[in-house]
Protein backbone atom coordinates (compact mmCIF):
# COMPACT_ATOMS: atom_id res chain seq x y z
CA UNK A 1 0.00 0.00 0.00
CA UNK A 2 2.76 2.45 0.92
CA UNK A 3 4.65 1.63 -2.29
CA UNK A 4 1.59 2.50 -4.38
CA UNK A 5 1.18 5.81 -2.54
CA UNK A 6 4.85 6.68 -3.07
CA UNK A 7 4.52 5.82 -6.77
CA UNK A 8 1.44 7.98 -7.15
CA UNK A 9 3.06 10.91 -5.36
CA UNK A 10 6.22 10.58 -7.48
CA UNK A 11 4.09 10.52 -10.64
CA UNK A 12 2.24 13.65 -9.56
CA UNK A 13 5.49 15.42 -8.68
CA UNK A 14 7.05 14.53 -12.03
CA UNK A 15 3.88 15.64 -13.83
CA UNK A 16 3.86 19.00 -12.05
CA UNK A 17 7.54 19.57 -12.83
CA UNK A 18 6.94 18.79 -16.52
CA UNK A 19 3.96 21.17 -16.66
CA UNK A 20 6.04 23.89 -14.98
CA UNK A 21 8.85 23.41 -17.51
CA UNK A 22 6.42 23.64 -20.45
CA UNK A 23 4.81 26.78 -19.01
CA UNK A 24 8.14 28.51 -18.39
CA UNK A 25 9.40 27.66 -21.89
CA UNK A 26 6.12 28.86 -23.44
CA UNK A 27 6.31 32.11 -21.47
CA UNK A 28 9.93 32.67 -22.49
CA UNK A 29 9.14 32.04 -26.16
CA UNK A 30 6.13 34.36 -26.01
CA UNK A 31 7.97 37.16 -24.21
CA UNK A 32 11.02 37.03 -26.48
CA UNK A 33 9.13 36.81 -29.77
CA UNK A 34 5.61 38.20 -29.83
CA UNK A 35 6.21 41.65 -28.28
CA UNK A 36 8.86 42.36 -30.92
CA UNK A 37 6.95 40.92 -33.88
CA UNK A 38 3.35 41.89 -33.14
CA UNK A 39 3.69 44.50 -30.40
CA UNK A 40 1.87 42.36 -27.82
CA UNK A 41 2.38 42.64 -24.07
CA UNK A 42 4.58 40.27 -22.11
CA UNK A 43 2.70 37.61 -20.14
CA UNK A 44 3.08 36.12 -16.66
CA UNK A 45 3.56 32.46 -15.79
CA UNK A 46 -0.11 32.15 -14.82
CA UNK A 47 -1.23 33.68 -18.12
CA UNK A 48 1.03 31.23 -19.98
CA UNK A 49 -0.53 28.31 -18.08
CA UNK A 50 -4.02 29.55 -18.97
CA UNK A 51 -3.12 29.86 -22.66
CA UNK A 52 -1.68 26.33 -22.71
CA UNK A 53 -4.82 24.98 -21.01
CA UNK A 54 -7.06 26.76 -23.50
CA UNK A 55 -5.01 25.47 -26.43
CA UNK A 56 -5.25 21.95 -25.02
CA UNK A 57 -9.02 22.24 -24.76
CA UNK A 58 -9.41 23.73 -28.22
CA UNK A 59 -6.83 21.71 -30.14
CA UNK A 60 -6.32 18.67 -27.90
CA UNK A 61 -6.52 15.03 -28.79
CA UNK A 62 -10.16 14.55 -27.74
CA UNK A 63 -12.38 14.47 -30.78
CA UNK A 64 -15.87 15.88 -30.60
CA UNK A 65 -16.80 14.28 -33.93
CA UNK A 66 -16.09 10.73 -35.05
CA UNK A 67 -14.67 10.50 -38.55
CA UNK A 68 -16.03 7.93 -40.96
CA UNK A 69 -13.88 4.82 -41.24
CA UNK A 70 -12.67 5.84 -44.72
CA UNK A 71 -11.29 9.12 -43.32
CA UNK A 72 -9.70 7.74 -40.16
CA UNK A 73 -5.90 8.16 -39.84
CA UNK A 74 -5.22 4.39 -39.63
CA UNK A 75 -7.32 2.69 -42.26
CA UNK A 76 -7.64 -1.07 -42.02
CA UNK A 77 -4.94 -2.91 -43.98
CA UNK A 78 -5.88 -3.96 -47.46
CA UNK A 79 -6.88 -7.57 -47.83
CA UNK A 80 -4.93 -9.76 -50.19
CA UNK A 81 -6.47 -12.16 -52.66
CA UNK A 82 -5.39 -15.76 -52.61
CA UNK A 83 -4.62 -17.20 -56.03
Determine the angle formed by the axes of helices 45-59 and 2-38, rounding to 10 degrees: 100
The C-alpha atoms of residue 21 and residue 16 are separated, in whole angstroms, by 9
- Give the model's pLDDT for residue 58: 87
User: Radius of gyration (Cα) for the chain, nearest Å?
Assistant: 21
- Give the model's pLDDT for residue 68: 65
Question: From first to last of its 83 residues, what are the pLDDT tens digits of the chain?
Answer: 888 999 999 999 999 999 999 999 999 999 999 999 999 999 999 999 999 999 988 888 665 556 666 665 665 556 666 65
- Give the model's pLDDT for residue 71: 61
Q: What is the pTM of this model?
A: 0.64
Amino acid sequence: MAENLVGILMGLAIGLVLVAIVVVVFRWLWNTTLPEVFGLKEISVWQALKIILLAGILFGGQRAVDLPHSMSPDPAPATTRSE
